Structure formats: C-alpha cells, structure tokens
Amino acid sequence: MRESGKSGTLLIASGLVLLAVAGCGSAKHGEEANLVAGKQQFVAKCGACHTLARANTKGTVGPDLDEAFRHGVDEGLGRNTIRSIVQYQVEFPNPENVMPKGLAGGSMLKDIAAYVAYAAARPGSDTGLLASAVAAPGSGKPAVEKNGKLELEANPQGQLAYTANKATATAGALTISMKNVSGVTHNLAIQSGTSGPVLGATPLEPKGTASFAAKLKPGTYTYFCQAPGHRAAGMYGTLTVK
C-alpha cells in the first residue's frame, strides 16, 4: 500500500467515488476474513509505508490511512466500502507511485483489507486477540554485549523498530551487528548522544546480517535506522556504555 503521501490520499479519495458509484462496497465486512492475520500482515507488508494508529505503524512514505479515511467515515462511509477500496488499490496499484504490484493477494489481501477497514479512523485501541496480535515495537529484552559483541535485530514483522530499544555494553572495542529478516530495508547506525556524528553503520539491506566495529567510551549513545523516515517513525534505541 505504498503511495506518495498527497497523491496517495487523492487516489484514495478518487476511489471512494468510483467504488461508491459502482456499488463495489457491497461485500459483507469481515466475510471469511481473519482480522488478527490481517493486522499481522498489514504490519509486515504495509506498516513501513503507512500510519495506522490501531496497528501502531508510523510509516510516512504513503498516506496516513486514518487521515485518508477520516472524512469519509465522519460522513457515513461504510466500512465495507473502505475494504473494497483497499483491496482494489493493492490489486491495481498506480504505476506512477511506489507501491509494488503483487504486494498481496488471495486470502492475505482479504485479511489485510478487512483489518484496515475495521481500524482506519476508529478511535481507541485494539482489544482481545487483536491487541496481542503484534508485539509492541521495541518491547523485547534489552540487548547485552557479550565478549565484545553486541547483537541487535530489526523487528522481524516489519515494524519500524528494533526488537529491543535499549542495550548495554562495556567500554572499549565493540562489534555491533544487526539482523534483518523482515524484507523491509533497514540498517543500524550509532552516534554519541542523540545528535553527534555517526560513528559507524551497517549497509541498508532488506535481509541479512551485517556488522561494523567501533571503539566506544563510557556514555550514552543512540542506535537508529538511516532509511528515510524510519528514525522519525520510532526506529531507534539507547545504548549505555559503562
């Protein structure tokens, strides 16, 4: 669901009109769809590019889906129609924007569309099974350096986060690595404090494990992703060196 922000919002708005006129919103909301799986797949496939509050995603490449649908929801737009719009735009992406063709299909797309239709511009937070469908970003145990090696990991579900947002290490020579199995392009860079010069970084890669060496003095450092918009969306953590 990757579209440039303004043009993507306009495309969604156009879809509201076209689908309403065509009567494409007639499918029963949630019919044969799994909202839990839909949330998980939305985070993995779409969350790096779109903001959706209930999914706790903060991507900025494409439109904010809460804002894109808020006016329509306020005006009485049915959730069924939103579901149809999402399915249509993923199946037939605008070739002039960056959402890839074939991002999702079949039951996966049905689940994603049903979850977006349920969650977009809906106040509050998910409850029950939906609340625990995706772990909160950065909620893993703090990473701890062992024998001069500090291993960090990008969130495997595609969230713009590392699995741990805190880490500790001993001062001196340190090899810092990042594992990424998400398929979303990430890296890991480190700086002193929150605005110092970058002291080292791994390459930007969608998958794999990479590392770099650094010699760190006692203090507080920030590790973060250099992919556009990822740090701003929350992909960073604090490294304490003692």
Residue 113 contacts by C-beta under 8 Å, 6 or more apart in sequence? 33, 38, 83, 84, 86, 87, 90
- Whether 28 shows a pLDDT value over 70: the answer reads no
* Residue 107: closest CA among 33, 26, 25, 41: 33
φ, ψ of residue 173 in degrees (nearest 5): -70, 135
* Residue 90: closest CA among 134, 56, 42: 42
Percent of the chain exceeding pLDDT 70 equals 87
Kindly state the helix (H) or strand (E) to which residue 241 belongs, with its residue range: strand 236-241
**pLDDT tens digits, one per residue of 46-100:** 998 999 999 999 988 889 999 999 999 999 999 999 999 999 999 999 888 878 8
Give the span between the Cα atoms of 145 and 80, in whole angstroms.
50
How does residue 7 score in pLDDT terms, banded at 50, 70 and 90?
A: very low
Give the span between the Cα atoms of 158 and 185, in whole angstroms.
9
- Whether 6 shows a pLDDT value over 70: the answer reads no
- Whether 159 shows a pLDDT value over 60: the answer reads yes
Asked whether 116 and 103 are in contact (CB, 8 A), the reply is no
User: Would you state the pLDDT for residue 10?
Assistant: 44
Give the span between the Cα atoms of 116 and 104, in whole angstroms.
14
Burial class (CB in 10 A: 0-12, 13-18, 19+), 60: middle
**pLDDT tens digits, one per residue of 169-225:** 999 999 999 999 999 999 999 999 999 999 999 999 999 999 999 999 999 999 999
Asked whether 84 and 19 are in contact (CB, 8 A), the reply is yes
Domains, the chain, ordered by start:
5-131 (1.10.760.10), 143-241 (2.60.40.420)
Asked whether 91 and 100 are in contact (CB, 8 A), the reply is no
CA distances from 10 to 3, 6, 41, 178 (A): 10, 6, 24, 37
Q: Is the pTM for the entire model greater than 0.85? A: no
**pLDDT tens digits, one per residue of 110-152:** 999 999 999 999 999 999 999 999 988 888 999 999 999 999 9
- Whether 18 shows a pLDDT value over 70: the answer reads no
Given CA atoms 186, 188, 189, 195 in this order, what sign does their dihedral have? positive
At position 31, the amino acid (one-letter code) is: E
Give the span between the Cα atoms of 82 and 163, in whole angstroms.
32
Q: What is the average pLDDT value for the chain, to the nearest integer? A: 88
